Structure 1
Amino acid sequence: MPSARPATPALRRIDHAAVSLLAALLPAGFRERQRAEWTGDLLTMADTEPQARRRYLIGAARTLPSLRRLVRRGGAGDAPVALPTGVRDTVARVMLLGLLWPILSWLLWIPARYYGFDIPGRQARGGQQTVIDPKTVWPLDGTPGWLDAIWLVPHLGAIAATYGPFLLTIVALVGGAATALGHRRRPVHPGAIAFIGLFAALLSAVLFAMSIVWDLPTSDPVLVALGAAAVALGATTRTLRRRARAALIVLGLAMIPMLVSFHTAAGHQMYVWFAD
């Protein structure tokens, strides 16, 4: 059996026991650092009255919940402590990293270019026969040709965002791969990533078959499900940083204008322009 930790020299046994108890309630990666801080403070108070040290330990106990939250968010120092993670944390990060590319691509490549360059106004002024090729709108027109490979990234992301099965697959593949690659910095739940990939592949195949056989709209249920899941995970996953949780909620809410655009005349004209 490992030998018991000896009491710190010059630290009273009762104080050492209290510090050990408090430290045991902290995450393992942060425990020794905080123990050393508490011990150092108590050593400087060695000649004070016992009531002063007791008040200090009571105050330290009150900080335990905030210290645990700080460590889980990686804000306890320059090197965030990697804590064991669960399925919810992994799924939330897959959703965040998977939705970021297609949603931002959709926003930049379709509505931002369509309304930013006044495509509806130019078509109205030019008459029904006026055709404005998307390839003649910045950045496809006005930047060097060798940048076409870069513009392909938002173009493909925008296409994926407009079709449910593609979006579901992109979220699973891109989000799962990015989360898995970052496992050294942030722990992941491998079972959750494997399940997300398999589930997304099967559901995408089913939705694709349904859209062909029955000619059913498949984007609406996918957008509703992904948006609701993103908002719920962003609001409840306490192990994520605050900015990551806010970004996940914003990405989930971004599904609303996408859904609206699919069912309006203006949105239909916008997608016809993009497809041309």
Structure 2
Amino acid sequence: MFETRDLSSPVEAVRDEHAPGALVIDCERDFETLPPAQAEDLGLLVDGLDPVSYPDAWLPADAPTLLARYASSDLTIGMPGDGSVVWTRQTDPPIVLVKPRVEGSPEPFIEFLLAEAFVELGLETPEHFLGFFEERYVDLDRAVERGPNSTYQIAAALYDGWLGLQTRETFATWHDRTDRAALGDSWQDAGTRLEDRVGELSRAVARGDTDFADATELACAAIKHAIELPAPFGALDTDAYRHHGPEYAIRWAEKTFDALAE
């Protein structure tokens, strides 16, 4: 199920700077959330396991089952929306898991995803949006009013955007470092590929071609690439969001969904 992945010199250097000691593991099978038995098998590769848990009061009554499981004392690694590369601090040392779905992607892009995971690990921020919103997740749920799955998707997107406000400062420095210039190019190339889609988001939502939760996910994913965002997402690409985090995100959701209801 698991096999240690070799790293290129630039990616290894990023790990040593931001997440020294983190293990990188290739997974044999794809997953959104690792089955419990396989998650426990990670204990054979690390010194210890430390599952996160959160109070039941932080969850709306209709929260998705997987979110309730994540909040419990069960070891839950990987959640919907995590992407092709997943990191966790529920192990000692931390682990970065690479899903087989990355196969076929350009190698420079995979290298960027790995480097991004190490930079995020180094921020010492929660590994999931529930640790970001905490008890205010129920406030976000009330603001969104689109059902539990859409609320989950929007919450995950908002947290991804908040992380991107911080990680992009590191990514932007890679162009100036000879040993990481290729990673900087990959970061920039990934952003360039998003620009046209992001620029059309407001019109796509207005036409009904794109669901608002999907639009939020794409817009927030673009924040890490320093792409200009259309309204109403541009309000998330601000120092105010970086500094005020969940409170700002909830206020943005309240204003945005009030406007959509008019």
Q: TM-score, normalised by structure 2?
A: 0.28
Point out the structure with max Rg over C-alpha. 1
